Amino acid sequence: MEFNNTKIAFNYKSNFDLKRAYFLFKLLSFGFISRLGRKLLKTLVWMNFPIDSFIKKTVYAQFCGGTDIMDCVGVINNLKKSNVYSILDYSIEGSVNENDFEDSINKCLKILEECTSKDLSKFIVFKPSAVGRFELYEEITSNNKLSENQAKEWSKVERRFNKICLEASKKDIMVLVDAEESWIQTAIDKLVTKMMNIYNSEKAVVFNTIQAYRKDRFDYLTKLHNDFNGGVKIGVKLVRGAYMEKERKRAKKYNYISPICENKEQTDEVFNNSLRFIIENINDFGLFIGSHNEKSNILATELLKKYKIDSNDQRIWFSQLYGMSDNISFALANTGYNVAKYLPFGPVREVMPYLLRRLDENSSISSQTNRELQLIKKELKRRKN
């Protein structure tokens, strides 16, 4: 498997798109300028400064599909020409009350309806904290006794989870439940496992997210496999993780041992061991590989060959974020593997937290940014010649 063919990687992008991407990643590669720019951007957003037009033409266009579902159709169809599917991710954050949670559910149901009626996607994704109060998940994770009101509130959260999973199951759509911070994750795990018991008897419909940067996740995975004992198809979205600094800061603040691996090598080990375990036992699993790491993606393809699993086996999907790692996504799709891009959408202002995280990540992971730059530069040169 080769990830250097820029003609395949960027075939769906115009010269203008590539030059914009090059400018953006180049800016992010300059640490000092990038830090200043991100601080300024956060300040301008906080001040409600009218910068929506600028954001939409630059950062937003690189990492998002559109302001609403119909606005994403062009991007979805463009990706589909290269056999790359889309995962519509309504990237709005900050739900805090019952009205917000009900609104989130209604948006999920609308996405499900649009996905099936217009054949836009095979997936739906949501954050647990978008359909339930963060502090309530924390109470359950801490194993605290719930008050009568809290118990009623938790029943509503369960009902919302079930509503999404039920509708998705009816429409043959896979549900990807995002992982969140470790101090609320146990509650999420319990709830997703409950949904798997209901909807995953024949195939994986509901997927829980396992963050490999947590030291305990491989043990959690093997225990889950033992507990189900083949009675349920376990849906796993395997990622490295998104809250590393936040986790370490909290562990230090409250003086407990950080649940996060000591270094990248340990995280890679947890990720790759989990990958091996799931593919070795694929008859009990559905697997969604969310990785921008070339070595892990190559390992996955080698494991499929080793166990004589077809590249287009519907139980196994590869995924990367829209606007990143096109060299991996399109190379895999071109070779016959199942590939889907995470495609965030929503009004510019409301997806700003997501966009700022993408900027932070691309600034902190210099190897990723430099890799993107090299590939874009190579493709621009190829087109010029």
**Residue 47 one-letter amino acid:** M
Burial class (CB within 10 angstroms; exposed 0-12, middle 13-18, buried 19+) of 295: exposed
For residue range 164-204, list pLDDT tens digits in order.
Answer: 999 999 999 999 999 999 999 999 999 999 999 999 999 99
Max Cα-Cα span within the chain: 70
Taking the CB of residue 100, how many other CB atoms lie within 10 A of it? 15
Quick one: which of 84, 120, 122 has its CA closest to 8? 84
Burial class (CB within 10 angstroms; exposed 0-12, middle 13-18, buried 19+) of 326: buried
367 vs 348 pLDDT, higher one = 348
Using the CB atoms, write b or e for 160-177: b if 16+ within 10 Å.
Answer: bbeebbebbbeeebbbbb
What residues have CB less than 8 Å from 103, skipping those under 6 apart? Answer: 95
* Mean pLDDT, residues 88-111 taken together: 86
Is the Cβ–Cβ distance between 222 and 277 less than 8 Å? yes
For residue range 120-167, list pLDDT tens digits in order.
Answer: 999 999 999 999 999 999 999 999 999 999 999 999 999 999 999 999
Question: Measured between alpha carbons, how far is 222 from 238 in angstroms, rounded to an integer?
Answer: 14
Q: What is the model's pLDDT at position 351?
A: 82
Tell how far CA 105 is from the center of its chain.
Answer: 19
**12: enclosing H helix or E strand:** none
Looking at every residue in the chain, the average pLDDT score rounds to: 90
**Strand blocks (E) in 123-280:** 123-126, 174-177, 206-211, 234-239
Give domain limits for the chain.
200-309
Q: What is the share, in percent, of the chain residues with pLDDT greater than 70? A: 90
Is the Cβ–Cβ distance between 206 and 192 less than 8 Å? yes
Q: How confident is the model at residue 101 (pLDDT cuts 50, 70, 90)?
A: very high
298 vs 34 pLDDT, higher one = 298
